[in-house]
Structure 1
Amino acid sequence: MSKPFDMELFLAGVLKGANATRKRHIQQAKTIQAGIHERWQLDNPWSWQRKHLVWFLDSHIQSRSGSTCYYYLLTISLISSRLRKSWTFQRQADAKNR
């Protein structure tokens, strides 16, 4: 049996800021990882595509408060940065207003 993917180690290179902020990003990244793993059986961010993160934003956090969505969007931006992808994502509130 293989070891689970270490999200904390994965994000270590791009995480900056206060300890509480770092912990929040790591916890949110683990939540994103669990959601994508449950849906597509992909637990390694290196195998994710943009559609997986968009799906998470659309299905898992659409009913959350605006601030929660914003913080998840920040975490997803960190994941994209770590993957060296130039993916962009819209906040759900912004998409609804257009």
Structure 2
Amino acid sequence: RSRAVTELHRRGVRPPCLLTGHEAIPVAFAAGCASAATAGPNANTTASGITRTARRMPVAALVPAGSAPPAYARGWASAAVGSDLLYYVVPGTGS
């Protein structure tokens, strides 16, 4: 988790921020971000809700290597974080 948090912060994903995807809850907590999910037992938003949030604050999605990113994150910048891929957008920075 600390590696993911370090990479999130290095890429500009800092509070207030939103994190989705693989291990989102513990990583978001450690990073000082909110977490969100569009499916499963922790579902609390929609893909369009995440897209709207990304216009006003940093948002990132953690995806296991070999898996496709969520549709809303496909155009975002990406970086490897251990065995995961981080897709992220930081409003106002061009990423």
Q: TM-score range by the shorter chain?
A: 0.3 to 0.5
TM-score normalised to the size of structure 2?
0.33
Q: Which has the higher strand share?
A: 2
Q: Which has the higher helix share?
A: 1
TM-score normalised to the size of structure 1?
0.32
Structure of greater Rg: 1
